Amino acid sequence: MIGKSIKQIVDGLNNYLGAIYNPGLPSYEGEYAVIKHLKKDSFDANGSKKIAVNLINIEEDTIYKNQLNPLPPSSSNQLTHGMPGIAVMRIQMYVLFAFHPGEDSEKYAEALTLLTHTLRYFQGTPYQQISINGAGGVQQFNLEINYHNISLEDSHNMWSNLGGEQKPYAMYQIRMLEIVPEIPAPTVPIIQQIPVTIV
């Protein structure tokens, strides 16, 4: 689900860039941006893929976390905590868009132009609807895409951890992707009943 969501976002970016640089092609899938593990040699020598998209981190959005409510006693008079559907997990992803700087000043300028177009694309489409085919049918999610600021120190640490030299980049926070469990919710017995006195 995470990979499919990022792919649909990247496909939208490729279509946007294709309409600018090479309009009229039947498909722009993978033409400019590709999802790939970012490392020192992420870009090939000829620079055919100019944007590497890498998932940096995910976080649970605890603000929207559901609470579980106990069910009333069952017909067998055994109190249970029914867990009526495990709470949906909503996550936010931090996705890095790194731009191939090339080997000379002209290629570097092209990378900065691509960066500008990418900023414009997400600034104009901060809300995107993602459709994913699953076992239960088609699921649709409304995602919020925001630019994520990184300090110079954090930027240095990030690129050091990635093991490569720093490249022109943009980091985006993508919010509200829902992770829905596919297993049935278990029924957990309550060990002791706490009497309630009404005054």
Query: Checking phi first, is residue 77 left (phi over 0); if not, alpha (psi -120 to 50) or beta?
Result: left
CATH number of this structure's domain 2-68+85-185? 3.30.2000
> How would you class 169 by CB atoms within 10 Å of its CB: exposed for 0-12, middle for 13-18, buried for 19 or more?
buried
Helix, strand or coil, per DSSP, at residue 98: strand
Which contiguous run of DSSP H or E holds residue 111?
helix 105-124
Q: What are the pLDDT digits (tens) for 127-179?
A: 998 888 876 778 888 899 999 999 999 999 999 888 778 899 999 999 977 77
Q: How open is the CA angle 177-123-167, to the nearest 5 degrees?
A: 85
pLDDT one-digit tens code per residue, 20-49: 998 988 889 989 999 988 776 566 655 556
The tokens for 138 are 């088609």
Task: Name the pTM for this structure.
Answer: 0.78
- For residue 166, which amino acid is it? Q
Which of 94-103, 111-120, 153-162, 177-186 bottoms out in mean pLDDT, i.e. has the lowest?
177-186
Output DSSP code: residue 114.
H
Give CA–CA dist 68/48, Å, rounded: 50
